[in-house]
Amino acid sequence: DGGITQSPKYLFRKEGQNVTLSCEQNLNHDAMYWYRQDPGQGLRLIYYSQIVNDFQKGDIAEGYSVSREKKESFPLTVTSAQKNPTAFYLCASSPRGLAGVVKDIQYFGAGTRLSVL
Amino acid sequence: GESVGLHLPTLSVQEGDNSIINCAYSNSASDYFIWYKQESGKGPQFIIDIRSNMDKRQGQRVTVLLNKTVKHLSLQIAATQPGDSAVYFCAENINGGSQGNLIFGKGTKLSVKP
């Protein structure tokens, strides 16, 4: 099946711990995105990447880090600097990146729910 | 899964009725709009999109209307079914944005009564 796979579905973080959320896509999409969703709020952009080995901060990047070593993968690390990490994290991808305006549909994974112990 | 619909505007409709969900977007330069459906504990699913050179687009049981004069977008669902119960939100893309970044609304929770 083609799509976007996020893992794990549920994740618990201890104080002072870094945790990494996985996002893999087999859609051959260029662009990938990470969003945070809190109850009653819209999706907020954390980081995005339009091409391998390049990524940009979104609106709420503080306390998070990403890498894009492969086209298929865009892992998100929630660092200990993120003081309020409890949220639902969504990864998305879309088919065009640089060398053209990206105005395509973003397709989402099923999400990872992160909680603090 | 945990609800993502807390404190959202709620629309309650009877099964079989038509539903209209509204969205006011923020930027007059936005030229591309998407409606997503999100069921509890799941990721958003694409429903329908529309570009600013159109004012109406129809899909299967859904219609999106765009009024650029008042920066308003609506999603109409015909013959609403229990499976349509979810949070619906619109997203806009601002003209000239090279990153394809979408700005998402907060959403409306649709509840369908059997």
- Sequence-separated (6 or more) residues with CB below 8 Å from residue B107: A42, B4, B5, B8, B9, B38, B87, B88, B89
| Across B74-99, average pLDDT | 86
A5-62 pLDDT, tens digit per residue, is 999 999 999 988 999 999 999 999 989 999 999 987 889 999 999 889 999 999 999 9
Nearest to B105 among A42, A104, A111 (CB): A42
CA distance linking residue A68 with residue A80, whole number of Å: 21
CA distance linking residue B31 with residue B28, whole number of Å: 8
| Across B89-108, average pLDDT | 77
In 3D, which of B74, B95, B97 has the Cα closest to residue B11? B74
Name chain B contacts of A58, Cβ cutoff 8 Å.
101
CA distance linking residue A93 with residue A30, whole number of Å: 7
- B15 to chain A, any CB pair closer than 8 A? The answer is no
In 3D, which of B11, B77, B25, B12 has the Cα closest to residue B47? B77
> Which of residues A25 and B4 earns the better pLDDT score?
A25
pLDDT for residue B5 is more than 50: no
Across all residues in chain B, what is the average pLDDT? 88
Per-residue pLDDT band at B2 (split at 50, 70, 90): very low
B14-55 pLDDT, tens digit per residue, is 999 999 999 998 888 888 899 999 999 899 999 999 988 999
- Helices and strands counted in chain B (H then E): 0, 10
Nearest CA in chain B to A100: B98
Q: Which residues of A touch B (CB under 8 A)?
A: 4, 6, 31, 33, 35, 37, 39-43, 45, 48, 50, 56, 58, 88, 90, 94, 96, 98, 101-111, 113
Contact A40 B97 (CB under 8 A): no
Cβ contact B32:B51 at 8 Å: yes
Number of Cβ within 10 Å of residue A89's Cβ equals 22
